[in-house]
């Protein structure tokens, strides 16, 4: 994608409003989705609505920010076209399969979780934690913020800056040790770099959004929980015997584990190889 104009500091700073839109869309979606529950609708329906509304409100707000604030087109922010490439669609499945598979090979035991409302857990995993979160976070970080940083500085800064911000976002509101924060920053930045490279290679945020969504469905959605302690909310638990942060991911969980980080780095290497072949990253790198 060719740059059509350099951003001033002020114009680039407007990109930070994407974070406000993310928070507002999430809160608004949850509030609106709770209304049917007040008149007896099932919880699973509320979770479906929350995910759909989160994605719809988030993308609508970001499109408005791109057009009216940053004065760029949806294509320039990589919010359009909506398309998937086979290599990244396959990667969306392979990433959690490899990470979860490596963790399930570690010593541990299976333990049943809550089966009280399996439909609600599954709906939350697919629609809210998966599709809603994956779409909005990718549109924010690899869409608006990456575009703003690239237009102000360059592509290298656009890969690294929003990726670190993505990692820092996941630190907020969590009780983490100093070592846990460092491990989360390493893992969060690594996966952010991966999704950034995929966005550059594909020219759209939607390939990364599909990868992010499926990862969340499997790794944090609540259908399967892998960790040193069982999760009462999850439908099925694999309780690890190991207490090593490299295996468990430390305070944050298995998304920051060594197997997960290895997966992020491996698929980043794939994206880099494809970028070098296409020369999509060469301009203003």
Mean pLDDT to the nearest integer, 156-180: 94
Mean pLDDT to the nearest integer, 28-49: 97
CA 140 to chain centre: 10
Does residue 3 surpass a pLDDT of 60? no
- On whether the CB atoms of residues 147 and 32 are closer than 8 A, the answer is no
Provide CB contacts within 8 A for 273, sequence distance 6+: none
Rounded Cα–Cα distance for residues 96 and 217 (Å) = 9
Pairing mode, strands 224-227 and 108-112: unpaired
The pTM assigned to this predicted structure is 0.93
Provide CB contacts within 8 A for 35, sequence distance 6+: none
Exposed/middle/buried for residue 57 (C-beta within 10 Å: 0-12, 13-18, 19+)? buried
Exposed/middle/buried for residue 181 (C-beta within 10 Å: 0-12, 13-18, 19+)? middle
pLDDT digits (tens, 9 = 90+) for 185-211: 999 999 999 999 999 999 999 999 999
Mean pLDDT to the nearest integer, 72-96: 97
């Amino acid at each position: 994608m060719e740059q059509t104009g350099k951003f001033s500091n002020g114009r680039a700073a407007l990109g930070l409003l994407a974070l406000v839109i993310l928070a507002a869309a999430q809160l608004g979606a949850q509030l609106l989705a709770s209304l049917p529950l007040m008149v007896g609708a099932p919880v699973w329906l509320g979770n479906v609505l929350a995910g759909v509304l989160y994605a719809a409100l988030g993308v609508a707000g970001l499109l408005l920010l791109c057009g009216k604030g940053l004065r760029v087109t949806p294509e320039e922010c990589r919010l359009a076209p909506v398309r998937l490439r086979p290599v990244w669609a396959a990667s969306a499945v392979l990433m959690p399969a490899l990470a979860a598979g490596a963790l399930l090979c570690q010593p541990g035991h299976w333990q049943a979780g809550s089966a009280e409302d399996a439909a609600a857990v599954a709906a939350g995993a697919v629609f809210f934690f998966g599709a809603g979160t994956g779409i909005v976070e990718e549109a924010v970080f690899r869409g608006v913020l990456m575009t703003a940083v690239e237009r102000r500085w360059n592509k290298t800064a656009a890969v690294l800056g929003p990726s670190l911000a993505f990692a820092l976002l996941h630190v907020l509101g969590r009780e983490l040790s100093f070592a846990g924060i460092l491990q989360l920053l390493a893992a969060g930045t690594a996966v952010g770099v991966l999704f950034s490279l995929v966005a550059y290679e594909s020219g759209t945020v939607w390939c990364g959004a599909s990868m992010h969504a499926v990862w969340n469905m499997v790794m944090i959605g609540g259908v399967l929980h892998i960790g040193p302690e069982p999760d009462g909310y999850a439908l099925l638990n694999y309780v690890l015997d190991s207490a090593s942060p490299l295996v468990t991911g430390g305070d944050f969980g298995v998304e920051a584990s060594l197997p997960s980080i290895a997966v992020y780095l491996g698929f980043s290497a794939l994206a880099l190889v494809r970028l070098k072949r296409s020369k999509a990253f060469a301009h203003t790198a």
